[in-house]
Structure 1
Amino acid sequence: MTIRPEPPVAPLLAAARRLWEDLAGVPASFPPAAGAVNVVVSPESDLCPAGWVGIVTLGGSALVTAPDEHTAETVRQALRGLPVEALADAAAVRDALPVTALLGPAALAYVSPENFRPAEASSQVERADGHHPAVRALERTAGPEDAAEAALDEITSPAFVLREHGDPGDPGDAVAAAGYRSWPRRTAHLSVLTAPAARGRGCARTVASAAVAHALAAGLLPQWRARPPASRRVAAALGFEELGAQLSVELAQDRRGVTLPPS
């Protein structure tokens, strides 16, 4: 029997996989074969909240972390036979496992310097500290849910802020801001937020473009993690390629802490 070697992994996909393998918290890797799933035990996994099951799909295979061996075996049995794309489908995962809470799925997208399509530079984009009052005011305008999703309060880069100018001498209110947080493997995790009244006008693309350009100039790998279709469209317009998804799942347990089987 002739054994065919696995095709080489594209550099962008390889870099993304190395990042999430590090975040798994234990020595683990994405299976090289398309459609394969690797479930490992990792109580300290950063793929999900503590005690949850973390699922990351990238390039047609999946890496899954579970907090203990019993849960890991439950997950292995439940997911056996499911196509990898179903692991990024909340409904399919709910059908297979006794889910009590779920975060995601969120698309994972990345861009290389060669594929980056920057927005037209705007002289109105200001570079500010991530804790600038204008950024905090934008978060209040956007509301707590959107502000928490963007997590601009966690960025380690400068904030790139777009304002709508008011009267002469008045800098005006911030209508969009972006930055990134330094992640392992020299990854720049993007944060982008736009005021509700300013959405659909290209503001997010303008500030995100400035943040991505800053990350690429520093030799970092920009990562865009998003659930809303509008955010994913902004990423695509800048040249990001969706390579997979992340889903975090909390499973039901009985009083002894044993994971319940699917009903």
Structure 2
Amino acid sequence: MTLEPGSVAIIQLAWARRLGLDDDAFAAAAGDRIIHADDTARTVQFIRLFGNSALVGPQWALDAAAGLPDGELAQHGTLLTLTRDHSGHGLGASALFFADDLPLRQPSGELTVSQGSPEAVELEAFCPPDDVNEVSLSDLEHRFTIMHMEDGRRTPVACGAYTEWEGILAQMGVLVAPQWRRRGLGSLAASVAAHEALASGLTLQWRADVSNKGSLALARSLGFTAGGIQTSVLLG
């Protein structure tokens, strides 16, 4: 689906605030890279957003990156090299997707959804640690867990969740138990969470590691629009 014209400005505003920039930083960039020095930062971040880019971190990192094109800074290996002497280590590169509306996915039968934390925690116990860490349900305030009923017992099988960024964006995540994947439950859980967020007046954001083909494909299948990339390293 295509974003409404005003949605891009809303997304850029949220990211500008998230990065500690002026509200109009992305809108005023006109294709020039935004440079923001923060010598107290524990990360170095490069963001490419709807054609404009920003590099945020300590001054020494900005100096080291001077002259490098955006395409190189978007590579996680480049930021690791630049920060090697400061114990930079991986946070990775994530593709950014956005939506201001999505088609509503309808379940084929009766659906039981829990908004409790214990169910989401139980679901995480069924999933590989890498998946749990990438989605990080514990960081997503609003959780909608699909429950499977069998022999009177409720088992969590998928969870769609979001948390608010700057009161503007709904940062989303979806986790599905391995044995329940490839059945459309991820799409269904994402749709439930997404429409709750949209009903609250938020614009949707989806971040997926650039190597996570499943998450990238799910974002596209749901109707999200690609908007950029975020590459980050954590400083030692």
Q: With structure 2 as the length reference, what TM-score do the two structures score?
A: 0.85
Q: Structure 2 stretches of 5 or more lacking a match? A: none
Please tell me the root mean square deviation across aligned C-alpha atoms, in Å. 2.4
User: What count of residue pairs does the alignment treat as equivalent?
Assistant: 226
* Higher Cα Rg, which structure: 1
CA distance in 2, matches of 1:207, 1:122: 13
CA change 1:85–1:118 in 2 (3 A) is farther
- The answer to whether structure 1 residue 38 and structure 2 residue 20 are counterparts is no
Gaps of 5+ in 1: 1-8, 45-49, 253-263
Q: Deviations over 1:221-244 (max 9, x none)?
A: 111111112112111111111100
Preserved CA contact (<8 Å) 1:161 1:176: yes
Amino acid at match of 2:46: I
- Output the CA distance in 2 between the equivalents of 1:246 and 1:144: 22
Hey, what's the Cα distance between the residues in 1 that align with 2:137 and 2:186? 13
The Cα of 1:24 is off from its aligned counterpart by: 1.3
Aligned residue for 2:126, secondary structure, equals helix
1:70 and 2:60 correspond:
yes
The equivalent of 1:25 in structure 2 is 20
Counterpart in the other structure of 2:189: 207
Tell me, in whole angstroms, the C-alpha distance in 1 between the residues paired with 2:235 and 2:197.
Answer: 37
Q: Corresponding residue for 1:109?
A: 97
- Deviation above 4 Å: which 4+ runs of structure 1? 92-95
Counterpart position of 1:261: none
Higher helix share: 2
Q: C-alpha offsets along residues 45-86 of structure 1, whole Å, 9 cap, x if unaligned? A: xxxxx422111110122111112x3332222x2xx251x343
Deviations 1:90-149, CA, capped at 9 Å, x for gaps:
245456x24441212111111012xx1232235544332341x22211101113332222
Check 1:73–1:117 CA distance in 2 against 1; reply closer, same or farther (3 A cut): same
Which amino acid counterpart does residue 223 of structure 1 have in structure 2? Q
CA contact (8 A) 2:43 2:232 kept: yes
Q: Which amino acid aligns with 1:40?
A: H
The whole-number CA distance in structure 2 between the counterparts of 1:236 and 1:51 is: 32
State the AA in 2 paired with 1:86. Answer: E
Q: Which residue of 2 aligns with 1:258?
A: none
CA contact (8 A) 2:162 2:173 kept: yes
Partner of 1:225: 207
Q: State the Cα distance separating 1:251 from its structure 2 match.
A: 6.3
- The 1-side partners of 2:39 and 2:175 are apart by 32
Shift of 1:151: 1.7
**Relative contact order: is structure 1 or structure 2 higher (C-alpha 8 Å, sep ≥ 6)?**
2
Taking the aligned partners of 1:74 and 1:233, their CA distance within structure 2 comes to 35
Q: Match for 1:32: what amino acid?
A: A
| Structure 1 length-normalised TM | 0.77
